[in-house]
Each structure stands twice: as C-alpha cells, then as structure tokens.
Structure 1
Amino acid sequence: MPDALIRWLAGALLLITLQAGVWWHGWHTRDQQAELAVQDKALADARQALNDFRTESNRLSTIASDIQQRADQINTNAARHTTEYRTYAVQNPLPADCRLDAERLRRIQSAVDDANAAIAAGQSGGAGTTDRAPNQRQPR
C-alpha cells in the first residue's frame, strides 16, 4: 500500500504543480495583456498628438508663407513708390509757395492706398475691404 500511496501523492503533487503552473501562466498572461493595452493606448495618444502637431505645423507654415508674401509685396511697393516719388520730386521741384501739385499728390495717395489695402487685407484674413486693386484710383 505504501507504493500506491506514493503514486497517489506523486500524482496529486503533479496535478497541483500543473494547476499552479496554469494559474501562474494565466495570471502572468493577463498582466501582460493589461500592460500591452496600456502601451497601445499610450502609443495611440502619441500618434494622435503627432498628427495634431503636424496639422498645426502645416497650418502655421502656410500662414507664415502668406505673411512673408505680403511683406515682400509691401516692401516692393514701398521701394517702387519711394523711387517714383523721389524721381518725380527731383524732376519737378516744389514751387516757391510750397504747394503740392496734382501729380505729386496722386503719387502720395497711391502709396497711401497701397498701404491701406495691405492693412485691410491683413485684418480681414486675406480679402481687402474694397473691390479695387491696390494703386487704383477711385473715380471722383
């Protein structure tokens, strides 16, 4: 009988060991799955943040490009108006009574119109407040 008892105890011990191994493996696997779910969530959040950053970066890049184009246009217009005005002022000096002639006033008004159009375009987000192009005189 002791031999049968030893076999029974060995079988019981083997069964308990097997159940403990299965329990530990299940516990360990469940823990890994929970950790993997947390990591997947963190990865998804990081990817979403990266996509949001990329979208915002592209938007800001577009705005910066638009601002640079407007600044270049303003600089070009300012240089042109300055050159035209100085050339005209040298060719046609002011009269002795210091009154501005019509062409000199037109050139000054043209520069003011371009500056106002640039300001209006900047304030409205791209569209000017008038239907006329810069440097175009309104009829009187």
Structure 2
Amino acid sequence: MFWICFALFLAACFAAGATGGLFPPGDWYKSLRKPGFTPPNWAFPVVWTTLYFCMAYAGALAAMVPGNGIAMALWSVQIALNGLWTPVFFGLRKMRLGLLVLALLWLSVAVSVVALWALDWRAGALFVPYLVWVSIAGALNWSVIRLNPDVAVQDPA
C-alpha cells in the first residue's frame, strides 16, 4: 500500500513539475537581470527531481498514519501552488503575481512541515529542504522584480 501511495504522490509532483515543460523560461527570462545567487540552469531539474521524490515519500509516509486529514489537505494545497507558479511567472510573465503565489507556497510548505512532522517526523524532515528551496525561489523572484522594475510592471506582449 505504501508504494502505491508513493507512486500517486510522485505522479502529482511530476504533474506539477510538467508545467516547466509547458512554460519554459525562454528568451524573455534569459534577458532579465538576475542576482548573483541565481543557481545555474542545470541545478533546477536536479533539485526539483530530488525534492519531488522527497515530497512524494513524505506524502506516502503521512498517508499511512491515521488522522492525516489536515496534513493531506496541506500537501494538496502546496502541490497545487507549486504547479501554479510556473504558468504565472513564465507563461503570463506576471512576476509580482508569481511572488504572491510563492509567498502562499512558502506558507503552505511551512505549515505542511509542522503537520507532517506531527504525524511522522521523517515526513516533516523530508519537507525541510523543500522549504529551503522555496525560500531561495522567493528571494530570486523578489530580486528579479527589483532588478527589472520596468519589466515587472508590463503585461506580456
């Protein structure tokens, strides 16, 4: 039963991650000024793949524990917000709205850490690297807005 749950959670993660293929950064993003702490392009798929496996494992662990309703609801909220950011930022080119989505994602992941930890400390611990990465993503999103104020207020062509 655990491995079926893991596979289902992993499918949800990779469905959210598929938005990266549907809305690639492209020339628009390449043309933006970015802060010095911007990770290299190769790091994004490596980090996200690792995080998605951790998130799926955490979800499967929590799914096995009675009384998991709140944690499962939070897991669902965070993966929905995870999948929403890419179309907002890269698809719509709405950097400020993307930052709002990231703020909500960060909050949902932080609360998920607490809820998952209460069920199984391993599940909560598996979400900690995700919270760190979303924090970096938020700082990156904020910095891109600050470094490109003229672009941040424009609608896409």
Q: Using structure 1 for the length normalisation, give the TM-score.
A: 0.36
Which is bigger in relative contact order (C-alpha 8 A, separation at least 6)? 2
TM-score w.r.t. length of structure 2: 0.33
